[in-house]
Amino acid sequence: MKVKKTNKKCINIIDIIVNYTGAIIMLIIIILVSLQIFSRYIFKSPPSWPEELSRYSLIWLVMIGAVIGLSNKEHIKIETFVHLLNAKYRKLFYLLSDFVMFFVLFILLIYGYSFASLNINQYSPSMSWMSLFWPFLAIPVGSGLMLIYVIVDFFKKIGILNRGDLKNVDS
């Protein structure tokens, strides 16, 4: 029981951090785009760095948004044929889908980090102080966070199956 409470506490902390991070990144994008628009129409000479930084921030926002979507189980699912399966095959399907998600996210984590590391010495065209490692790091960070949620959900489903409750095993 202690393990379950600790896991829930950790997931809640990750939820809070991810949600606040998403909100902060959204605020940064709004400020950067507003700065770009203001400087373009008022000063007639916009700097190029806000546009580029907002693009990189959008990459992070997409990955953080994917994490939030997965944690809230709001990703798109096509369950037309799944509901035609009996309970036994449905539970196998959901476990298999979690395994496939685990595999894909693990590959994204490993290769995403490798790709980000390759760009550590490459710098942004308009922001010569910023390594392209940081925008590319969004892929492995987002994948790693989603991986945590997939693993927790997988073990939650296994626990439900061990209790014999086939109705509550859904993706």
pTM: 0.86
- Say how many domains are in the chain: 1
Query: Is 170 within the bounds of a domain?
Result: no
Domain presence at residue 167: no
Main-chain dihedrals φ then ψ at residue 48, nearest 5 degrees? -85, -20
CB 135 within 8 Å of CB 59 = yes
Counting residues of the chain whose pLDDT is more than 90, the rounded percentage is: 59
pLDDT band at 104 (very low <50, low <70, confident <90, very high): very high
Range of the domain at 143: 2-162
How many Cα atoms sit within 13 Å of 27 on the Cβ side?
6
Is the distance from CB of 61 to CB of 22 less than 8 angstroms? yes
54-64 pLDDT per residue, tens: 999 999 999 99
Residue 171 falls within a domain, yes or no? no
Q: What is the DSSP string of 3-65?
A: HHHHHHHHHHHHHHHHHHHHHHHHHHHHHHHHHHHHHHHTSS---SHHHHHHHHHHHHHHHHH
Confidence class of residue 92 from pLDDT cuts 50, 70 and 90? Answer: confident
Is the pLDDT at 166 greater than 60? The verdict is no
Across the range 69-75, mean pLDDT stands at 88
Q: Would 77 be classed as within a structural domain? A: yes
Q: Where is pLDDT greater, at 6 or 170?
A: 6
> Rounded to whole angstroms, how far apart are CA atoms 21 and 60?
9
Tokens of 158: 């296994």
Would residue 168 count as lying in a domain?
Answer: no
Range 104-115 average pLDDT: 97
For residue 3, what pLDDT is reported? 61
- Work out the average pLDDT over 82-98: 84
